[in-house]
Structure 1
Amino acid sequence: MAFPELHTPMRTIMTPGPVEVDPRVLRAMSTPILGQFDPAFTTIMNEVMEMLRLVFQTKNKWAFPIDGTSRSGNEAILCSIIEPGDKVLVPIFGRFGHLLVEICERYGAEVHTIECSWGEVFDPQVVIKEIKKVSPKITAIVHGETSTGCMQPLKEIGVACRELDVLLVVDAVASIGGTDVKVDEWCIDGLIGGTQKCLSVPSGMAPITYNERIEKIIQSRKKVERGIATEEDRQKVLSHRPIISNYFDLSMLQDYWGPRRLNHHTEATSMIYALREGLRLVLEEGLEKRFARHKIHESALVAGVKAMGLTLFGDQENKLPCVTCIGIPEGIDGEAVRGMLLNEFSIEIASSFGPLHGKIWRIGTMGFSCRKENILFVLASLEAVLLRQGFEVNRGEALQAALDVYVGKTEKVGVGRGSI
């Protein structure tokens, strides 16, 4: 059987990830392959580490990508520091808090959870109170929860964790590159990012960073494995029988990314090229300007959605700037709307999960997808589809409301037509 040459349709991707990849990143991926220990390639690896420190706003020694989708970063950090019986607190306010619970449980942690309704976030004092009650070794929490479009304030929690000698591990997959994330200032010990969202790089890597508090745990476990710990330490660790992945073992990855360059796996060369270019573009734009761009396009989208006659879902005071959740009007088939947007306009938006499935749409405004022409296109198309589905739309109001936001603001942050 003969298979034709690959041709994929052109889409306007307005989901919470993956998003449209910057053409400059795609060009970088076509760069010729280098050997993983070629000095030219190890120089690129070092550049990626340095750029990650700048994007993460940290002075941490360790900042490098895990080969795998975003979940691999969560697992790499957690499996490298959890020993069976360790207490881990996971505050859950959406789907990905449950994922953190599952990973921790698989590595033998004693997991404690608190939950709030989907569409809300925690008062930091509630989390701090629970930390004091549970006395966990680790608090693991999501920063930007794409399933609900909400963003958890972290600074108070981070400061409290540091004072109480609790490790704070943060899933910032959806927020890195789209809104402010201050690793050092917020006292975050370990942080996981993602490539396929606000960085506008294809899915397949999970940039992480962690500090000396986490490295100390990694090194202590490594010493036992190498037989250079004290007998007391050895017996303590062996009695716990720690479970640790080979592929996601940060002690081994440190030897690979560090100056020793010990072989661990074959690096995903083209993805490193892509990540380097994606990070370069973030830094070229400038963090503050990039965050402002995401906020302006979010404001235009929100104004248009409201003017159309739709309602927003979730806590708007703690809204994730790059994800907008919209209540599906009563009597409207949400999947039929998504299907018509895809089939007639080649636009993809997302539904949601769990208790929100069939109740909201989620529109992502992330990275390269976060452009004026995309916002106006999705608003016009959504209005047309809703009219066909029988919803009483305020005709013509959505685009005017979005344009009102753009007028007078585009020159400040360079978000005019054709810009990113």
Structure 2
Amino acid sequence: MMDGSMEPGLLLIPGPVPLPRQVREELAKPAAPHYGDAWVKAHSETREMLRYTWSAPDAHVFPIAGPGHAALEAIGYTFLRPGDRIVVVSNGFFGDRTHEVLLTHRVKADLVSSPWGSAPDLAALRTALKTPAKAVVVVHNETSTGVTNSLDPIVEAAHAADAIVIVDAVSSLGGLPLPFAKLGIDAGFSASQKCIAAPAGIAPVAVSRSLWESTDPKSVEGWYLNLYTWDRYEREWGDWHPTPTTISSNLFYAFHRALKLLREEGLEARFARHAKVAARLRAGLAELGFRPVGPSAILSNTVGCFSPPPGVDPARLVRRLKDEHDIYISGGLGPLRGKTIRVGTMGTQADPESIDWLLKAVRASV
């Protein structure tokens, strides 16, 4: 198996994922100062590794202390203004959640929806963009349905209408190809506990230079979730205290270590590993009568969502796997609750032996 902790069981939910031994070692160390030479070095290395992970060598990157939603709100506060019109592309739970969150920022958020498990409705998006919009917001990898949304046509449509593109990469960064700079993404955010295989609590943010330089910092409300605050501390206090507030040293060094492991493996090798293991999971479950929710062309390599064969109750299967085999998977969300199972193949989960263990247990349980 991958070198992740399998105690108290095999964790195959769609994040968090089992932590590699080296990452757990960082968490177990005594608390260290959140400033000083060692901290500055680790912070600088973390930012450089984030640029590598985002495939964005010139982007402004920030390891925000908080969940992925904190990063979404930071982008909202920093680059959107009350009254701005935005278009949210949704084909699942987290697209709808993004719409819900951004509405609280007092923007005019129009929703371009398509059925859960299907691809985004590009025709409807282009129609929506005939009315001027500040931004298009899209979830790259929809964890609720196990589908990956192609970003190229969405970015093309948005930029043709002079709208920026904000991407939720929570369950894709570090596991799926995401060429931030090449695609022309303007802002993106993720979370540490998914494909990066670090503890929850750090939310990576990337912002293009063009968006950064076209925004007036004085127009931004708020302090902690204002990315220009983070930038100011990096510039003015960077030689000893490059973050605006105290961040758990154990958490940050664990995140730093997870990024080093990612860099050592290499993005292309990591993407190939995720693809191979996801295909193994799909093939194994197909033999048992399970069907993925989405069409094959858009199925995710970091999380799978499956409808069980007739006579198999998803909630009962989830319970049996936990109680009888010490394996944790998830049930469905929203309208798929009680109808599907979801399995993570992210980070340490993208391991053939772990998937074979799961398939053996499912075979014994259905």
Fold similarity call, TM over 0.5: yes
Indicate yes or no: 2:258 matched with 1:278.
Answer: yes
SS of the equivalent of 2:52 reads: helix
The within-5 A match list for 1:357-372 is 357-372=337-352
Q: 1:128 and 1:263, CA in 2 relative to 1: closer, same or farther beyond 3 A?
A: same
Indicate yes or no: 2:198 matched with 1:174.
Answer: no
**Corresponding residue to 1:254 among 231, 253, 277:** 231
Q: 1:344 and 1:23, CA in 2 relative to 1: closer, same or farther beyond 3 A?
A: same
SS of the equivalent of 1:325 reads: strand
Q: Which amino acid aligns with 2:268?
A: E
**Corresponding residue to 2:318 among 338, 360, 365:** 338
Deviation at 1:299, TM superposition (A): 1.1
Deviation at 1:314, TM superposition (A): 1.3
Separation in 1, partners of 2:89, 2:243: 37
SS of the equivalent of 1:185 reads: helix
Task: Out of 309-318 and 361-370, give the one that drifted further.
Answer: 309-318
- Counterpart in 2 of 1:157? 154
| TM-align CA RMSD | 1.8
Deviation at 1:19, TM superposition (A): 1.1
- Counterpart in 2 of 1:408? none
Deviation at 1:123, TM superposition (A): 4.9
Separation in 1, partners of 2:331, 2:126: 32
Indicate yes or no: 2:94 matched with 1:96.
Answer: yes
Separation in 1, partners of 2:123, 2:146: 21
- Counterpart in 2 of 1:109? 107
Instruction: For structure 2, list consecutive stretches of 5 or more residues without a partner in the other structure.
Output: 1-5
> Residue 349 of structure 1 contacts residue 361 of structure 1 at CA under 8 Å; is this kept in 2?
yes
Deviation at 1:78, TM superposition (A): 1.1
Q: Which amino acid aligns with 1:188?
A: I
Q: Which has the higher contact order (CA 8 A, sep 6+)?
A: 2
- Counterpart in 2 of 1:30? 28
Separation in 2, partners of 1:310, 1:105: 37
> Residue 60 of structure 1 contacts residue 210 of structure 1 at CA under 8 Å; is this kept in 2?
no
The within-5 A match list for 1:229-248 is 244-248=221-225
SS of the equivalent of 1:170 reads: strand
> Residue 138 of structure 1 contacts residue 168 of structure 1 at CA under 8 Å; is this kept in 2?
yes
> Residue 86 of structure 1 contacts residue 137 of structure 1 at CA under 8 Å; is this kept in 2?
yes
Deviation at 1:334, TM superposition (A): 1.6
**Corresponding residue to 2:128 among 120, 130, 141:** 130
Indicate yes or no: 2:140 matched with 1:143.
Answer: yes
Instruction: For structure 1, list consecutive stretches of 5 or more residues without a partner in the other structure.
Output: 1-7, 225-241, 387-420
> Residue 195 of structure 1 contacts residue 205 of structure 1 at CA under 8 Å; is this kept in 2?
yes
Separation in 2, partners of 1:20, 1:55: 20
- May I ask how many residue pairs the two structures share in their alignment? 358
SS of the equivalent of 2:181 reads: coil
Indicate yes or no: 2:202 matched with 1:205.
Answer: yes
The within-5 A match list for 1:178-327 is 178-218=175-215, 220-222=216-218, 244-261=221-238, 264-327=244-307
- Counterpart in 2 of 1:405? none
Identity of counterpart residues, as a percentage? 30
SS of the equivalent of 2:180 reads: coil
Separation in 1, partners of 2:269, 2:126: 33
> Residue 89 of structure 1 contacts residue 134 of structure 1 at CA under 8 Å; is this kept in 2?
no
TM-score (norm 1): 0.81
